[in-house]
Structure 1
């Protein structure tokens, strides 16, 4: 059964890495899938496409610049139409030469998808022997940093690009996106921080940025309120902001994320933790 969109690859591939003990999130800094393991020093990236193409291969090679372990994943179409479905052995040989991992997913109408791992990233084997593991660390609700960006044993830093991946990964409270998405609003760390600020203004009313920072722990609350990138906030006087109607609507639109953050804040009550897509958020 041929898939219609590459986003259909995300769920089975996420399940594979979850079973291997990884924490997985989609669309992290333009990567279809990023996975972190507490016993691996480097992040893992998976780029997905419906078919194997030169742009996919080049994308995988480019992702290796981050120092991450990189996989390529495509559908294995059982109709065997097209040359790409006949040459997986050659594709595997090419990926192995380049140090890329390669996965295919076969979909069926009446049973679960079947994943085939043709080769693992070259770095995957060396990582177990030469790099100290990363272990989750305890964090507060305001500062989510479950994975470190340096070896706890040697203090050796990751490449800057890998650090950015992990920082963005850490700053997200969950996996709200689908890998391979295009033309969709993504839940990024920035959007989550904006939701936190909106939640604070909704609950407490008009306030100064420093108060919003205190309530949420968001370090750049003042910049977010002033720049008003999403149009969720309204300046009502010098240094004082309130939540605009569009911000109220955003709390409903992103109800799943709003509820997660509301549960983390001590000043939020049950009305937030029980927030649903009912169409209204009451004070």
Structure 2
């Protein structure tokens, strides 16, 4: 059963990691899927493609700068046994040489997809070979930025593998909460908005006005624009889920 879009890989792999105790979110700093353990010691990045190709391999190598555990994930199509991208033994050996993990997802008509681990990432298995095979050095800056973006999102509002879609990033969530406060309280100063929302960069967000949601009503006072009001309607589900999550955590 051939999949049409790589986003179809997201839910099976998300469930796979959630069953192992990870929190999972999609499209975090250009990574299709990021799974973080409860103690935040394990940060797993998974990149998707419908089939194994060079672009996927290059993505995986690049992501190794952000985490010690990087996996590539593709569909395992039972009807393409002879295809180059289905030569699992050779692809597994290639991934091992690079320190990458490899996952496959097999889809069925009448039962749930099955996720298989063909090889673990180098960090997960403590894979030790010649120096040329050592995993790429992780950039602490990139890793910390990835974890910060992950933690600042209240939930998982994106589907990994998406293209040409507006992503709900931590920044967009903050902007939505500022817009919500302006809608509920009317015109406010940056200081009052900061008190209500708790964002230290509130004034900067209002001044930059990246999405066009805010307007200066008078000196030091901001109001919501029609575009901002439309955004509240567009992202109403995100705001409801974020509010529910906040209440659970309180």
Q: What TM-score, normalized by structure 2, do the two folds share? A: 0.89
* Matched-pair contact (CA < 8 Å) for 1:76–1:105: yes
* Matching residue within 221, 226, 230 for 2:207: 226
* Matched-pair contact (CA < 8 Å) for 1:176–1:187: yes
Q: Could you say if the C-alpha distance between residues 238 and 263 of structure 1 is closer, same or farther in structure 2, counting changes exceeding 3 Å?
A: farther
The CA RMSD over aligned residues, in Å, is 2.0
Q: Give aligned pairs, total.
A: 237
* Matched-pair contact (CA < 8 Å) for 2:24–2:34: yes
Q: Could you say if the C-alpha distance between residues 6 and 37 of structure 1 is closer, same or farther in structure 2, counting changes exceeding 3 Å?
A: same
1:207 is matched with 188
Q: What TM-score, normalized by structure 1, do the two folds share? A: 0.79
Map Cα deviations across residues 79-132 of structure 1 (whole Å, 9 max, x no partner).
Answer: 1166234411100011111111101111112211111110111101349xxxxx
In structure 2, distance between residues paired with 1:124 and 1:240: 52
* Matching residue within 151, 157, 160 for 1:170: 151
In structure 2, distance between residues paired with 1:232 and 1:263: 24
In structure 2, distance between residues paired with 1:97 and 1:265: 43
2:165 is matched with 184
In structure 2, distance between residues paired with 1:112 and 1:264: 28
In structure 2, distance between residues paired with 1:158 and 1:53: 25
> Is the counterpart of residue 14 in structure 1 residue 14 in structure 2?
yes
> Is the counterpart of residue 51 in structure 1 residue 51 in structure 2?
yes
Q: Which runs of 5+ in 1 are unaligned?
A: 128-156, 267-283
Q: Could you say if the C-alpha distance between residues 264 and 16 of structure 1 is closer, same or farther in structure 2, counting changes exceeding 3 Å?
A: closer
Determine helix, strand or coil for the equivalent of 2:230.
Answer: helix
Q: Which runs of 5+ in 2 are unaligned?
A: 128-137
